[in-house]
A = this chain, B = another copy of it.
Amino acid sequence: MKREGKMGSCSACSSKSSCSSSTALGGSGNCGDAAARQDRLIAATAGQIRYKIFVMSGKGGVGKSSVTVNTAVALASRGYKVGILDVDIHGPSVPNLLNLKSAIEMDDGGRMLPAEYSSNLSVMSMDALLQDKDQAVLWRGPKKTAAIRQFLSDVKWGNLDFLLIDSPPGTGDEHMTILQAMPEALCVVVTTPQEIALADVRKTLNFLQYANANILGLVENMSGLVCPHCHKEIDLFKKGGGEDLATRCGINFLGAIPLDPASVVAADRGEPVVAMDCDTPARQGFLSLADKIAACAENSLEAISTSKG
């Protein structure tokens, strides 16, 4: 098992002027031959994955990782082969949400092997780079770019129907790097309903349009809360703001997931609400969301190939 040693084969780029590329999204750590070879590896990996779903949010704390994990578990329960790549270097939470002890295993050819959550759901998280899980990652932008490119090129997923990429909030180095390396990714933007979150989502949508990215649609998480005692609706983060925004922007509204105290407790135990025995509105919301994402992804790919044809 190798850890930091493998990382940063491009870390020298952090101080090389040749790394400032001329694309809209900025430098990609392009160090000539090594970068071109890595680009080919990324393309080869991507070629084995039917749908690359890039899960983003403007604001943090809107439940992006929870949406990623539960959508992935739901898609896997529908029979699809699914992978999750967690590139949230500063706060990778996917392994905790799935109760996986992540470590990087290598095959004989030096490629990283994802951890198996189930027979058709595998997971690779940047969390695995940390020897001590309470340790913070003190990497500036160029080093993060190099690490993400390595995770895109060197993980042996095999054939997948869906790869869900969980990212940190915002529109920083991580997002530019992924969209530059995998421009065919379909972006799912997660928000909560209140205006302060929607303001950040509008920024994310503008970023994606500027980057010519494919926007699959918007998810409204933490959409309404029912009091577990009196069963009345509580207007905590409001409701419907995400759907309104999607309509105004002419993008797909993929679904609304209600807040659910039981799913917070389950998340802390590493149990996704979709995998729980009891049926809840949150579980139903995630199953519908996964079906909608699968349908929209198929339509989107058809639309892209039609426009190219």
Which A residues fall within an 8 A CB radius of B? 14-20, 24-27, 58-62, 90-91, 93, 96-97, 132-142, 144-145, 168-173, 176, 192, 194-196, 199-200, 202-207, 210, 225, 227-230, 232, 234-238, 259, 261, 264-265, 267-268
Contact = CB atoms under 8 A, between A and B. Distances in A.
Contacts of A137: 171, 203
A281 to B, nearest CB: 15
B210 A237 contact: no
Contact of A200 (B14, B93, B232): B93
A192 to B, nearest CB: 8
Contacts of A144: 141
A27 B14 CA distance: 10
Contacts of A136: 171, 203-204, 206-207, 210
| Number of copies of this protein chain within its complex | 2
Chain A to chain B: the 3 pairs with minimum beta-carbon distance, closest first: A60-B60, A61-B61, A141-B141
Given A200-B91, A267-B196, A138 B26 contact: yes
A266 to B, nearest CB: 11
A281 B62 CA distance: 24
Nearest to A173: B140
A81 B19 CA distance: 44
Contacts of A96: 195-196, 199
A132 B205 CA distance: 13
